[in-house]
A = this chain, B = another copy of it.
């Protein structure tokens, strides 16, 4: 791994991406480095790192060119938009990003979300549509930067793994089905799975056979190249890196071969739809729309795209960083992705984020610094300048095949099964996300998933687990009497509350105590064991007062044990402790010992 890795003496728990060179240790400089991570690694950039980065960039470029064209088509945009979105944003990320392997650019899920969002405000193929897509990228960039400044990165935590996983699986399915029309060479509309399937069924009679043949052949070739080509090349004695490069060039090869086929067999005349003229040249500089009405319409989609893009990007970046014992800084990632999206908006692109497949490729190919991304940008720029005439004859079916093969890896059935076994609540959130994405589109789907997962969490806290506990013999430890062989005292009810006490569950505690008190006639003391009570809000405080009052009326003492520091602090601010007749014990063992002692019925 050469120069760069030899500097990586930091543990995996070091929060810096790279140790700063000594001359940058001063405080203000540290701050600048934290904002511009490139200053951290650029001064020590070595020749061997440059070779690694260049090699990785070459492989990623070869992979990214067809993907950029394909994802732009998926987003309903002209193909060059995808290329534009793969140039400046990569440079922006190279400046601001903290991950050394993340490859940003157009990705499948965000392209689908872009199509859904922009399709609501403009007709596909119009200038308005293009402007709306750029505005969406701009808004998304602003939102990400605002999240960075306001340190709102934690918002991404609300997208739980099952929701994100279900969302990506469903999006993958939706994307694959949406591309089927291109494979068949028919026109079909629909944003949701049922509509798409109906559209496909109705259009089936118009299938263009040469298109279908080319589409199926490409799909088969890409699947083969992905699974079998690299082992085959290695078996024939090619060096691993070369084998990798050739295998990753599968989509590029498919493009070349298909263009040749279109030329050779005159397929355009036989009804095979092609991409058409793509303007060559530098990405255009363009202002996004400043129409406030449009901003309002696009705000929510931009928010969702930002969150989904951020979550996808950060989880890829973290996975890869962990493999090399590096850490990324999620907040700085917000800045980097925000800047990348603004760069996309200003250069004729559309929303971008870190892609899973290409980042893994970048990492495996040995990328050592974000400069690999900058080199990739130069590669894409070269393609934009010199290769666009080639893409004119590119069949749409080939791009569709590229997309289908790429997104099938997003469908993760194992994760669905694992979640089903582990937790009904998690599975419910996942299933609702999948069903809603397929039936109502991406935005409704992810919103429904997040809302449901939060509601299920809340719901669970309203029905708290409570356990009557007893002493584990020979220890000072108290556990559930239903699960462990423990010692109990008939005059003492030890109840452990397994939830924070707040307005939504305070009544449940009252009911539980009153029910158990009614069942235990010899009772003289109730001790509420609070190791799991992380907060007591004003409503629950009133419940505790009412419990204490009602138990006192029946001649039963009410005490608390193992009340944690922050809760004690809060109780001290109220007048609860002044009126509280019971005791508060440091440990439950101390409580039971103290309350047993004066009991004349015990020896």
- Give CA–CA (A589, B478) in the complex, Å: 12
Q: A498-B534, A503-B161 are in contact. Are A12 and B586 (CB under 8 A)?
A: no
9 closest A-B pairs by CB: A160-B503, A531-B531, A477-B587, A476-B476, A161-B539, A13-B518, A13-B514, A426-B538, A532-B532
Q: From residue A422, how far is it (CB to closest CB) to chain B in Å?
A: 5
- Give CA–CA (A504, B162) in the complex, Å: 12
- Give CA–CA (A546, B575) in the complex, Å: 44
- Give CA–CA (A160, B538) in the complex, Å: 8
Is A421 a contact partner of B161 (Cβ separation < 8 A)? no
Residues of B with C-beta under 8 A to A498 = 534, 564, 566
Q: A322-B546, A422-B574 are in contact. Are A157 and B12 (CB under 8 A)?
A: no
A467 at the interface (CB under 8 A from B): yes
Besides A13-B515, A418-B574, 20 other A-B contacts (C-beta < 8 A): A12-B550, A13-B550, A160-B539, A161-B503, A161-B538, A161-B542, A327-B514, A421-B574, A422-B541, A457-B461, A458-B458, A460-B535, A461-B500, A465-B564, A475-B586, A477-B562, A477-B586, A477-B587, A477-B589, A483-B565
The 8 A CB mask of A453-475 against B (1 = contact, 0 = none) is 11001101111110100001001
Among B425, B482, B538, B542, contact of A423 (Cβ-Cβ < 8 Å): B538
Interface positions of A (Cβ within 8 A of B): 11-15, 154, 157-163, 322, 325, 327, 418-419, 421-423, 425-426, 453-454, 457-458, 460-465, 467, 472, 475-477, 479-480, 482-483, 498-500, 502-508, 514-515, 517-518, 531-535, 537-539, 541-542, 546, 549-550, 553-554, 562, 564-566, 570, 573-575, 586-587, 589-590
Residues of B with C-beta under 8 A to A454 = 458, 504
Is A157 a contact partner of B503 (Cβ separation < 8 A)? yes
Among B425, B463, B475, contact of A589 (Cβ-Cβ < 8 Å): B475
Pick 7 A–B contacts, CB within 8 A, sort by A: A12-B514, A12-B553, A15-B515, A157-B462, A158-B504, A423-B537, A426-B538
Is A462 a contact partner of B422 (Cβ separation < 8 A)? no
Is A518 a contact partner of B14 (Cβ separation < 8 A)? yes
Q: From residue A402, how far is it (CB to closest CB) to chain B in Å?
A: 31
Chain B residue at smallest Cβ distance from A457: B502
Is A502 a contact partner of B322 (Cβ separation < 8 A)? no
Is B160 a contact partner of A537 (Cβ separation < 8 A)? yes
Residues of B with C-beta under 8 A to A461 = 457, 500
Is A586 a contact partner of B514 (Cβ separation < 8 A)? no
Q: A505-B157, A531-B532, A554-B11 are in contact. Are A419 and B465 (CB under 8 A)?
A: no
Is A157 a contact partner of B507 (Cβ separation < 8 A)? yes
Is A465 a contact partner of B586 (Cβ separation < 8 A)? no
Chain B residue at smallest Cβ distance from A154: B462
Is A12 a contact partner of B554 (Cβ separation < 8 A)? yes
Is A534 a contact partner of B565 (Cβ separation < 8 A)? no
- Give CA–CA (A163, B503) in the complex, Å: 10
Is B477 a contact partner of A565 (Cβ separation < 8 A)? no
Chain B residue at smallest Cβ distance from A505: B157
- Give CA–CA (A460, B586) in the complex, Å: 24
Chain B residue at smallest Cβ distance from A453: B503
In the complex, the count of this chain's copies comes to 2
Residues of B with C-beta under 8 A to A533 = 532
- Give CA–CA (A241, B518) in the complex, Å: 36
Is B160 a contact partner of A517 (Cβ separation < 8 A)? no
Residues of B with C-beta under 8 A to A566 = 465, 498
Interface centre among A163, A423, A538, A574 (most CB of B within 10 A): A538
Among B14, B157, B483, B504, contact of A504 (Cβ-Cβ < 8 Å): B157
Is B570 a contact partner of A475 (Cβ separation < 8 A)? no
Residues of B with C-beta under 8 A to A575 = 418
Among B158, B476, B570, contact of A477 (Cβ-Cβ < 8 Å): B476
- Give CA–CA (A499, B418) in the complex, Å: 24
Q: From residue A253, how far is it (CB to closest CB) to chain B in Å?
A: 37
Residues of B with C-beta under 8 A to A538 = 160-162, 418-419, 422-423, 426
Q: From residue A165, how far is it (CB to closest CB) to chain B in Å?
A: 9
Residues of B with C-beta under 8 A to A453 = 503
Is B162 a contact partner of A539 (Cβ separation < 8 A)? yes
Among B419, B423, B467, contact of A565 (Cβ-Cβ < 8 Å): B467
Q: From residue A140, how far is it (CB to closest CB) to chain B in Å?
A: 22
Residues of B with C-beta under 8 A to A426 = 537-539
- Give CA–CA (A82, B589) in the complex, Å: 59
Residues of B with C-beta under 8 A to A479 = 565, 586
Chain B residue at smallest Cβ distance from A483: B565
Among B157, B534, B535, contact of A506 (Cβ-Cβ < 8 Å): B157
Is B465 a contact partner of A534 (Cβ separation < 8 A)? yes
Q: From residue A126, how far is it (CB to closest CB) to chain B in Å?
A: 36
- Give CA–CA (A154, B461) in the complex, Å: 12
Residues of B with C-beta under 8 A to A457 = 458, 461, 502, 504, 537
Q: A158-B503, A422-B570 are in contact. Are A587 and B11 (CB under 8 A)?
A: no
Is B534 a contact partner of A13 (Cβ separation < 8 A)? no
Q: From residue A22, how far is it (CB to closest CB) to chain B in Å?
A: 20
Chain B residue at smallest Cβ distance from A498: B534
- Give CA–CA (A515, B586) in the complex, Å: 29
- Give CA–CA (A285, B18) in the complex, Å: 81
- Give CA–CA (A538, B531) in the complex, Å: 23
Is B517 a contact partner of A13 (Cβ separation < 8 A)? yes
Chain B residue at smallest Cβ distance from A463: B154
